[in-house]
Every structure is written in structure tokens, then in C-alpha cells.
Amino acid sequence: MDHQHGRLLLVGGTHGNERTAPWILQCWKAQPALLTSPLPTTTCIGNPEAYGANRRYIDRDLNRCFTEALLRDRSCTIREVIRARELVDAYGPGGNDPHGLVLDMHTTTAAMGSSVVTCGERPVDLALAALMHQAVGMPVYLFQINEDQPEECGFLVRRWPCGLVLEVGPVAQGIVDVRTVRKTTACLDGLLDVLRDCLTGKARMPETMVIHRHLASLDWPRDRDGRRIACLHPDRPRWDWTLLYPGDPLFLMETGETVAYQGEEPVWPVFCNEASYEEKGIALSLTRRETMTPPAAGLEALLALLRS
């Protein structure tokens, strides 16, 4: 079935309380002419059970369930692990209906606008992200995979030969907001235009691309019982994608005291005050802004994948 690998899988609702992408898929089903993809395209709800319950997940975050160990463990009865296995068995490169590319569509409560996330540094992912950055101007967040932290691995996109994560915000969990729908649709149109240019030979890789490389995540200050005792400092008019310097105000404590950022270098925060990260002990993530040369081999791999 290798001839089918040049197919695109669009996933919405990997987190069941993120309603934007499922709404777009619902509109496409009602109005098929709205989806004009240059590739054979399949759409699906990532976590239908959580989506039906309007919850992020039922047993476990689906977007951490795609590790090789979990997928191999056929005795595991965690519902999201079973669902991950279903998706890979159906649409993965060795599945019944293989797809080569996947876009996992998310929203965030953080005021990040529209951005694209690469999970790791696979050349083919970086190439597609570079083309997206060039076409739409979306920031690229490079989340580095640390195999020593399995709880932060297991991302859906890693199970496909090429995969990106789309993040659009801010929007509250559990609602459909038309402005966020339109921003997400614009990003999708940009992706489809990029793929169209690849197929017609018009795609040209930019000489450089700007990325925000993940460095670390910070938890909220907490007391001995684990109770959160701070919020983000109000003196910054904007948190996401803006420079945070050593000594800048970071947290405002319940006592009224200010806690400053103690790092050794300026950083660019992202996912600031993301509601779903409270359970993960993450107040914000820190990145370093870098300029890199997109890997030429990545574009070659992307074109081969699209045309196979």
C-alpha cells in the first residue's frame, strides 16, 4: 500500500474539550466543497469519547499515549491507549489505510495567536514548518523530545512519517469561537497551499527560518502542601513570544511579593497560563529564539513523501 502514503490526515479533538477543529471538520462534512485539498485527505476526531464528554481526556492525555511501549502493550486497557492504537492501526504507515502526513489541530488558552509546533527535529517536519512559516508567518515552536521523560513524549505526530501540531489561541476550553475557527481555517488554507506548491514544483525553501527552541518549563511557586501560591506578574502587557530578561518580574505571590526571573539568559515564554497545564505543573515554557538553515534533505523527503 506504499502508493497511498501521499495522503493527509487531519485530526481534531485529540483533546476533547478543544472544540475548534472538530467544529471545522463538522462544517466540512456538511459542506464538502469547503475542503479543497491537493492530496487525498482523511479527517477524524482524535478522542471521540472525550469529545462527547467535553473533557480533555477520559483516562490519560491521548497526546502522550503514542509511545512505542504503550502501543506494543496490547494488555493495556487505558481508553486513550486503545484509541492511540486504533489510530495507528488504521492510518499509520503500516496501517490498513496508510497516510504519510498528519496535522494535529489544537487550541490553547494562552494568548499565543497561531503557531506551528514540531515535536523533535526530523528534517521533513522542519522543512514543512519552514514552508508554513514562510507562507503564513506563523512562529515555529521546536519542542525537543527527551526520551528520558516518557510522560512528555508519546505525541501523535511522531507516529507518522511527517507531522506537525497546529496551536491557535487564546480561546476558552469547551466552546466554539468563530474568530478562532477563522484563524484555524486560515492556517489550514496556508498548509494546503504549501502542499499544492510542493506538488506543482513551486515550493522554494527559505534560506533561513526562525524557531523558538524549547529550553524548560517552570511550575508555579507552591507551598509545602503543593498549593499554588502565585500568578503571572501583571506588569507585563504580553507574555507569549516576548522577551523575558533575568531580573524581570515573573510571579506575583499571594503575599503581594514579586518573584523575578532568575535565569542566566533572556528567554521567550510560550504557553503562558495554559489552563490544561495546571495538572502537569507547568506555568509557562521557556524558549530560545534561533535562526537556522532549514535542512535541504527535509524538502527532498517531503516531496518524495507527497509524490509516492
Is this model's pTM higher than 0.75 or not? yes
Does residue 262 sit within a domain?
yes
Instruction: Answer yes or no: is 60 a known binding residue.
Output: no
Query: 261 among the known binding-site residues?
Result: no
The answer to whether 40 and 306 are in contact (CB under 8 A) is no
- Domain co-membership, 188 together with 116: yes
The verdict on whether residue 227 carries a ligand-binding annotation is no
**CATH number of the domain that 136 lies in?**
3.40.630.10
Number of other residues whose CB lies within 10 A of the CB of residue 299: 21
For residue 229, what are the domain limits? 211-291
- 78 assigned to some structural domain: yes
Q: What are phi and psi of 56, to 5 degrees?
A: -60, -45
Instruction: Examine residue 249 and state whether it is found in any structural domain, yes or no.
Output: yes
Strand order in the sheet with 101-107: 41-45, 8-12, 101-107, 162-169, 113-119, 140-143, 209-218, 284-292, 268-270
In the structure grid, which three cell numbers stand for residue 175, read together? 466552546
Q: Is residue 106 marked as binding?
A: yes
- The domain total for the chain is 2
Strand, coil or helix: 39: coil
Q: Are residues 180 and 227 in the same domain?
A: no
Both 30 and 99 in a single domain?
yes
Question: Catalytic residue at 152?
Answer: no
15 is in an annotated binding site: yes
Question: Is 56 in contact with 21 (CB distance < 8 Å)?
Answer: no
- Could you say which of 49, 167, 274, 278 is catalytic? 167
74, 172: one domain? yes
Low-confidence ranges of the chain (pLDDT < 50): 1-4
Statement to judge: residues 52 and 194 lie in one domain: yes
Asked if 87 and 215 sit in the same domain, the reply is no
Do 240 and 111 meet the contact criterion of CB atoms below 8 Å apart?
yes
What DSSP state is assigned to residue 222? Answer: B
Q: Exposed e or buried b for every residue in 109-118, given b needs 16+ CB within 10 A?
A: bbebbbbbbb
One domain, residues 115 and 204: yes
Q: What is the pLDDT of residues 58-105, one digit of tens each?
A: 999 999 999 999 999 999 999 999 999 999 999 999 999 999 999 999
Q: Is residue 1 part of a domain?
A: no
Query: Do 200 and 70 share a structural domain?
Result: yes
Which pLDDT does position 93 carry in this prediction? 94
pLDDT at 4: 44
pLDDT digits (tens, 9 = 90+) for 110-132: 999 999 999 999 999 999 999 99
Has residue 2 been placed in a domain? no
Residue 63 marked as a ligand binder? yes
- Under 8 Å between Cβ of 110 and 276: no
